[in-house]
Structure 1
Amino acid sequence: MNDPNTTASETATPETTSPETTTPDWQPVEGAMPGTAGPGRRRELMSFVRRSSRLDKRLQKAWDAYASEYLLNLPQYEHRELSIDPDFRFDHDFVIRTWGNDHPLTVEIGTGQGENIVAAAQTNPDRNFLALEVYRPGVAHALLKAGKYGLSNLRVAEVNAPDLMKAAETGLFDEVWTFFPDPWPKTKHHKRRIVQPALAAEVHRALRSGGVWRIATDIEDYALHVHEVMDGRDDFENVGGMTVSLPTEHVSKGTADMAAQLPHADFAESERFEGRVLTNFEKKGLEAGRVIHDFTYRAA
Structure 2
Amino acid sequence: MTNDPAANGDATDTTANPAPGTATTHGHPLHRVLSFVRRSGRLDARLQRAWDNYADGYLLDVNDGEGSLDVRPGFSLDARYVRETWGNDNPLIIEIGTGQGENIVAAAAARPDVNFLALEVYDPGVAHTLLLAGKQGLRNIRVAQVNAPELFKACADGMAAEVWTFFPDPWPKKKHHKRRIVQPALAGEVRRVLADGGVWRIATDIEDYALHVHEVMDGLDGWRNDGGATVSLPTGHVGKGNADLAADMPHADFTESGRFDGRVLTNFEKKGLAAGRVIHDFTYRKA
- TM-score, normalised to structure 2, is 0.93
1:49 and 2:50 matched:
no
Counterpart in 1 of 2:124? Answer: 137
**Aligned counterparts, 1:26-175, within 5 A:** 34-36=27-29, 43-76=31-64, 81-175=68-162
- Superimposed CA distance per residue, residues 208-237 of structure 1 (whole angstroms, 9 cap, x where no aligned partner): 010000000000000000000000011110
Of residues 202, 210, 217 in structure 1, which corresponds to 2:204?
A: 217
Secondary structure at the aligned position of 1:266 is classed as strand
Q: Which residue of 2 aligns with 1:277?
A: 264
User: 1-side partners of 2:223 and 2:18: how far apart?
Assistant: 34
Q: CA deviation at 1:84?
A: 1.0
What is the CA distance between 1:89 and its match in structure 2? 1.1
Is 1:17 the counterpart of 2:29? The answer is no
Structure 1 CA distance for aligned equivalents of residues 99 and 264 of structure 2: 13
Q: Distance in 2 between matches of 1:75 and 1:66?
A: 18
**Cα distance in 2 for residues equivalent to 1:62 and 1:107:** 22
Any conservation in 1 of the 2:50–2:130 contact (CA below 8 Å)?
A: yes
1:36 Cα deviation (Å)?
A: 2.3
Q: SS state of the match for residue 130, structure 1?
A: strand
Matched, 1:257 2:259: no
- Tell me if structure 1 keeps the 8 A contact 2:17–2:57: no
Does residue 231 of structure 1 match 2:231? Answer: no
Runs of 4+ in 1 over 4 A off after TM superposition: none
Letter in 1 for 2:219: G
Paired residue for 1:181? 168
Cα 1:112–1:183, aligned 2, differ >3 Å: closer, same or farther?
same
CA distance in 2, matches of 1:299, 1:86: 28
Instruction: Report sequence identity in percent.
Output: 68
Alpha carbons 1:103, 1:127 under 8 Å: kept: yes
In structure 2, what residue type is equivalent to 1:200?
A: A
Q: Following the alignment from structure 2 to structure 1, what is the Cα–Cα distance between the partners of residues 63 and 170?
A: 29
Measure how far apart 1:2 and its partner are.
1.6
Name 1:242's counterpart in structure 2.
229
Cα distance, 1:15 vs. partner? 4.6
- Distance across 2 between alignment mates of 1:194 and 1:23: 23
After superposition, the Cα gap between the structure-2 partners of 1:248 and 1:22, relative to the gap in structure 1 and judged at 3 Å, is same
Give 2:198's aligned amino acid. G
Give the equivalent residue in structure 1 for 2:10: none
Asked if the contact 1:15–1:74 (Cα under 8 Å) also holds between the matched residues in 2, the reply is: no
**Alpha-carbon offset, residue 99 of structure 1:** 0.1
| Superposition RMSD in Å | 1.5
SS of 2:133's equivalent?
Answer: helix
Query: Which whole-Å deviations, capped at 9, do the CAs of 1:51-108 have from their partners, x for residues lacking one?
Result: 1242100000001100000000103178x93011242211110000000001000000
Q: Distance in 2 between matches of 1:77 and 1:91?
A: 21
> SS of 1:59's equivalent?
helix
Q: Distance in 1 between matches of 2:56 and 2:256?
A: 40
